[in-house]
Amino acid sequence: FMLTQPHSVSESPGKTVTISCTGSSGSIATNYVQWYQQRPGSAPTTVIYQNSLRPSGVPDRFSGSIDSSSNSASLTISGLKTDDEADYYCQSHDSSKWVFGGGTKLTV
Amino acid sequence: QLQLQESGPGLVKPSETLSLTCTVSGDSISGSRYYWGWIRQPPGKGLEWIGSLYYTGITYYTPSLKSRVTISVDTSKNQFSLKLSSVTAADTAVYFCLGVVVINMLGQWGQGTQVTVSS
């Protein structure tokens, strides 16, 4: 089971961007999907958990969703700020194995 | 609030064993509230899951490292540990520990620790 993300995306400040995460097999809806933000030189932090929930402190500009028809999860960031520039990783499970997507570099 | 902190040698010689500890604060490592995991990130690359320790006491490891990895817990110190044997330069990476709430998968990461394998 693999999670595939685009290598990079780019958008202007104030715009909206969506990062996809596609499951290779089975149903991505079977297990929760998480999204992590990693700024250069820093540890990852959780921006979305349980498919669509935001930890306290994460602005509502960040949203997550699942699309069973395309077997994919998505992270959408609206009102882009330069501070959102980072690598984003999706993560889920395959049986008891933790699986990470390859990461997407967001340039704002 | 749950906090995690990795510690251990920053330099390990080839063929030796890498040993790291993750100290947990803000909650007990015992009980059924969390999963505990180790993840690494080689220079310029993405996140790689190494293995996880479930509250049942069962451990799971990524297949490519399974023969060399051991994850264990010390409840008296509120710590869990990673041992990776027979290291090579390919094991050079930043190593992160991660605590995940079982019921909703909310994760808290440690700050990470750089480990370099070199003679």
What letter does residue A49 receive in the DSSP assignment?
A: B
Q: What is the DSSP letter of B57?
A: S
pLDDT at site A19: 98
Q: Does the CB of A99 have a partner CB in chain B at under 8 Å?
A: yes
Residue the block writes with tokens 């909206």:
A16
Across all residues in chain A, what is the average pLDDT? Answer: 96
CA distance B33 to B36: 10
B5 forms beta bridges with: B23
Give the model's pLDDT for residue A25. 82
User: Other CB atoms closer than 10 Å to residue A34's CB: what's the count?
Assistant: 27
Q: What is residue B23's predicted lDDT score, i.e. its pLDDT? A: 98
The band of A82, judged by pLDDT with boundaries at 50, 70 and 90, is very high
A13 touches chain B (CB under 8 A): no
Tell me how far apart the alpha carbons of residues B55 and B52 are, in angstroms, rounded to a whole number.
10
pLDDT digits (tens, 9 = 90+) for A10-58: 999 999 999 999 999 888 888 999 999 999 999 999 999 999 999 999 9
Which of B62, B106, B110 has the CB atom closest to A43's CB atom? B110
Query: What pLDDT does A32 receive?
Result: 94
Quick: pLDDT tens for B53-96.
998 889 999 999 999 999 999 999 999 999 999 999 999 999 99
Q: What is the pLDDT of residue B93?
A: 98
Residue of B39, B104, B109 lying closest to A45 (CB–CB): B109
Nearest to residue A76, comparing CAs of A24, A35, A22, A32? A35
A-interface mutation test, from B5, B69, B102, B106, most A Cβ less than 10 A away: B106
pLDDT tops 90 at residue A64: yes
Cβ contacts of B20 within 8 Å, gap of 6 or more: B6, B7, B8, B38, B81, B82, B95, B97, B113, B115
* A-chain residues near B108 (CB < 8 A): 46
Asked if residues A33 and A73 have their Cβ atoms less than 8 Å apart, the reply is yes
Report the gap between the CA of A49 and the closest CA in chain B (Å): 5
Where do we find the tokens 């780019």?
A: A10
DSSP summary character for residue B100:
E
User: Given CB atoms, is B105 within the 8 Å cutoff of chain A?
Assistant: yes
Please calculate the CA angle B3-B62-B115 and round it to the nearest 5 degrees: 55
pLDDT of residue A38: 98
Angle (CA) A39 A43 A47, round 5°: 70
Instruction: Report the C-alpha gap between B105 and B38 in whole angstroms.
Output: 15
